[in-house]
């Protein structure tokens, strides 16, 4: 009877998390037959996923023309002039993107400090203009923190601890506007007198009609709203795809344009010329994305992506492991590999000395030992949450969180070995494959030397080369995705290339393996109430039963499994099988 009561409670008392009416939670007609298409033709499946990006360029172009966007650029510029903070705040996939925006800014100005020695102190000061937080603290970069996005109070507390106030700018990357924690962050920032921007990717009228937490945000007259609705996701509900892409394009462009204005104003003409292209025009950003999207969907680039998908699929189907190595783009690759865990019910990254299953994919820095590699990931001190039981009680957390506070302190991040030491867990299952990531030539020199020194520990090695690929070869087993993108200060278009390529690589691989049916992510790991609702709706849709019945069947699976068995298979698949439905069969 426990599962029946749990289902009844969720149906009756958690209606704020019943999200079937929200477009980004619904099926995208463009990718409706993804699993069937990719089963027959990998390249056609990859193109199907990329076709779902078709609205991003135009939505960004429209946003660039708005008064709100111009205000954002000028507010970033003002913070540079006045020594104020621009804080990016979000949750989940958008939260990891907030960390990326912060790190890309910091890396650019750290580079300028070396490029312009006389301006070193000024450039290091400007490096500190940006900051970032994600719900659950920095540990959420390497493993999802369960249930934290369900609480507006948690998001508000993180804004308080960030110490921002009047004159500072907070950019709330609201993903779809569904997560309570980021809405709480935006409201708290507004109350503290911050210039607060709220980027959201669902129609406002639908959000405010159905979600109390959204109504509270949109009732704030001081918040500046930027709608970026690009339609439904390539895989239903997977906002790590189109939502985070459009937000990265728009927010990243604002940072680069503000940086250009400041540097053009404060540097001599000779100094400014040395920098090369700092930023594009708004029209060039939109057109550049359209060109990138177009080029990835055809020719050698499409075939290269399909080849990479087939390589990963074969490795995982043989029960093997993938280890990526990169230095310059480690945060980009880490973001994608982390997000595979909750999206497809895969084992999370493994802490040093930890027992349990090892993650299918992992990423390491070939240049530095782990603690130093982490410094290069964030380019700022690691920020954890040192919250006590009393803190959780005060914030109205569930009793399960109060009784067992999650380990989300700053030191938890350092327990994950991402450095260049030998890690036997990465070849404890065979076949083990080492994959060198070469982006615009970044995989040469010492990176390639480390690859060569380690390859004998693995069963096979590959070099995945993206972007502007230099002449010659790095390996006999090369996969090439040649695409030309504009090179700017923060390398925004390159980061977008990496994001699109790896989102496709991970999603297409899982679809090829039958872990997506149609375009429903049947392997979802329900780490919060939003994902519980998504699980229930997938069961209801595929089994063609009422929501209430699907909810009861879900909780029967969810509460009936022993501890430590959450990665055996998804609760959705277990439930569908029990109901006699084969997710892989045509219907």
Give the model confidence (pLDDT) of 132-147 as tens digits: 999 999 999 998 887 8
Average pLDDT over every residue of 453-464:
96
Q: Please determine, for residue 95, whether its predicted confidence score (pLDDT) is greater than 70.
A: yes
pLDDT band at residue 354, thresholds of 50, 70 and 90? confident
Average pLDDT over every residue of 213-218:
94
Residues with Cβ within 8 Å of 48's Cβ and at least 6 positions away in sequence, in order, are 30, 31, 33, 34, 37, 38
Q: Are 106 and 62 in contact (CB under 8 A)?
A: no
The whole-number pLDDT of residue 586 equals 57
Average pLDDT over every residue of 272-290:
97
Average pLDDT over every residue of 515-542:
88
The whole-number pLDDT of residue 417 equals 96
Percent of the chain residues past pLDDT 90, beyond the cut: 82
The whole-number pLDDT of residue 346 equals 87
Q: Please determine, for residue 585, whether its predicted confidence score (pLDDT) is greater than 70.
A: no
The whole-number pLDDT of residue 501 equals 98
The whole-number pLDDT of residue 584 equals 59
Domains 39-44+295-336+344-501 and 56-294 share a fold: yes
The whole-number pLDDT of residue 563 equals 72
Of 66-75, 357-366, 512-521, where does mean pLDDT reach its minimum?
512-521
Residues with Cβ within 8 Å of 286's Cβ and at least 6 positions away in sequence, in order, are 57, 58, 60, 61, 64
Average pLDDT over every residue of 503-528:
90
Q: Please determine, for residue 587, whether its predicted confidence score (pLDDT) is greater than 80.
A: no
The whole-number pLDDT of residue 531 equals 86
Q: Which strands form 361-364's sheet, in the order they lie side by side?
A: 361-364, 321-325, 432-439, 460-467, 478-482
SS3 letters for 296-314?
HCCHHHHHHHHHHHHHHHH
Average pLDDT over every residue of 502-530:
90
Share the mean pLDDT of the chain. 94
Q: How do residues 314-323 score in pLDDT, each as one tens digit?
A: 999 999 999 9
Domain spans in the chain, listed from the N-terminal domain onward: 2-27+520-578, 39-44+295-336+344-501, 56-294
Enter the pTM of the model: 0.94
CB contact burial 467-494 (16+ within 10 A = b; e otherwise):
bebeeeebbeebbbbebebbebbbbbbb
Q: Please determine, for residue 171, whether its predicted confidence score (pLDDT) is greater than 90.
A: yes
Percent of the chain residues past pLDDT 70, beyond the cut: 99
The whole-number pLDDT of residue 17 equals 86
Q: How do residues 556-572 score in pLDDT, each as one tens digit?
A: 999 988 777 766 788 99
Which strand (E) or helix (H) includes residue 427? Answer: none
Query: What's the CATH number of domain 39-44+295-336+344-501, 3.60.60, 3.30.499, 3.40.50, 3.30.2010?
Result: 3.40.50
CATH domain 56-294 topology: Rossmann fold (3.40.50)
The whole-number pLDDT of residue 365 equals 98
Q: Are 389 and 402 in contact (CB under 8 A)?
A: yes
């Amino acid at each position: 009877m426990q599962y029946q009561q749990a289902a009844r409670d969720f149906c009756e008392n958690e209606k704020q998390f019943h999200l079937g009416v929200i477009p980004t939670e619904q099926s995208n007609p463009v990718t409706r037959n993804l699993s069937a298409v990719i089963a027959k033709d990998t390249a056609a499946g990859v193109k199907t996923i990329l076709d779902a990006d078709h609205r991003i360029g135009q939505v960004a172009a429209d946003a660039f023309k708005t008064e709100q966007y111009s205000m954002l650029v000028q507010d970033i510029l003002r913070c540079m002039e006045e020594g104020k903070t621009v804080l990016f705040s979000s949750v989940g996939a958008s939260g990891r993107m907030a960390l990326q925006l912060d790190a890309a800014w910091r890396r650019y100005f750290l580079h300028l400090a070396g490029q312009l020695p006389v301006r070193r102190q000024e450039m290091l000061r400007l490096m500190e203009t940006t900051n970032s937080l994600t719900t659950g603290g920095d540990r959420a970069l390497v493993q999802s923190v369960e249930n934290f996005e369900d609480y507006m109070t948690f998001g508000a507390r993180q804004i308080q601890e960030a110490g921002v106030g009047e004159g500072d700018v907070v950019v709330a990357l609201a993903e779809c506007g569904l997560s309570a924690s980021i809405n709480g962050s935006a409201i708290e920032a507004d109350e503290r007198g911050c210039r607060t921007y709220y980027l959201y990717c669902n129609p406002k009228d639908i959000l405010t009609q159905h979600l109390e937490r959204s109504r509270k945000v949109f009732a704030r007259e001081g918040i500046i709203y930027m709608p970026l609705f690009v339609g439904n996701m390539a895989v239903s509900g997977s906002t790590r795809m189109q939502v985070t892409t459009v937000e990265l394009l728009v927010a990243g462009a604002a940072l680069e344009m503000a940086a250009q204005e400041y540097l053009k104003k404060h540097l001599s003409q000779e100094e400014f010329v040395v920098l090369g292209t700092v930023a594009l025009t708004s029209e060039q950003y939109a057109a550049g994305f359209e060109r990138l999207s177009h080029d990835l969907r055809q020719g050698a680039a499409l075939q290269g992506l399909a080849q990479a998908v087939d390589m990963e699929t074969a490795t995982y189907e043989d029960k093997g492991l993938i280890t990526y190595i990169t230095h310059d783009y480690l945060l980009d690759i880490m973001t994608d590999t982390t997000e595979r865990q909750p999206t497809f019910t895969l084992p999370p990254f493994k802490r040093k000395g930890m027992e349990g299953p090892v993650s299918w994919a992992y990423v390491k820095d070939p240049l530095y030992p782990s603690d130093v590699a982490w410094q290069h990931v964030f380019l700022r001190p690691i920020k954890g949450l040192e919250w006590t039981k009393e803190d959780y009680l005060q914030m109205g957390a569930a009793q399960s969180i109060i009784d067992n506070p999650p380990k989300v302190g700053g030191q938890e991040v350092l327990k994950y070995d991402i450095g260049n030491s030998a890690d036997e867990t990465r070849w404890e299952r065979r076949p083990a494959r080492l994959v060198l990531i070469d982006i615009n030539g970044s995989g040469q020199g010492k990176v390639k030397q480390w690859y060569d020194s380690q390859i004998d520990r693995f069963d096979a090695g590959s070099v995945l080369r993206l972007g502007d690929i230099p002449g010659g070869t790095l390996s006999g087993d090369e996969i090439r995705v040649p695409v030309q993108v504009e090179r700017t200060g923060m390398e925004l278009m390159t980061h977008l290339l990496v994001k699109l390529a790896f989102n496709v690589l991970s999603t297409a691989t899982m679809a090829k393996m039958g872990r997506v049916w149609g375009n429903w992510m049947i392997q979802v790991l329900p780490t919060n109430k939003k994902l519980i609702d998504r699980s229930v709706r997938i069961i209801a849709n595929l089994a063609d039963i009422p929501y209430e019945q699907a909810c009861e069947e879900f909780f029967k699976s969810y509460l009936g499994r022993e501890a430590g068995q959450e990665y055996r298979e998804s609760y959705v698949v277990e439930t569908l099988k029990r109901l006699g439905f084969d997710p892989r069969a045509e219907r």
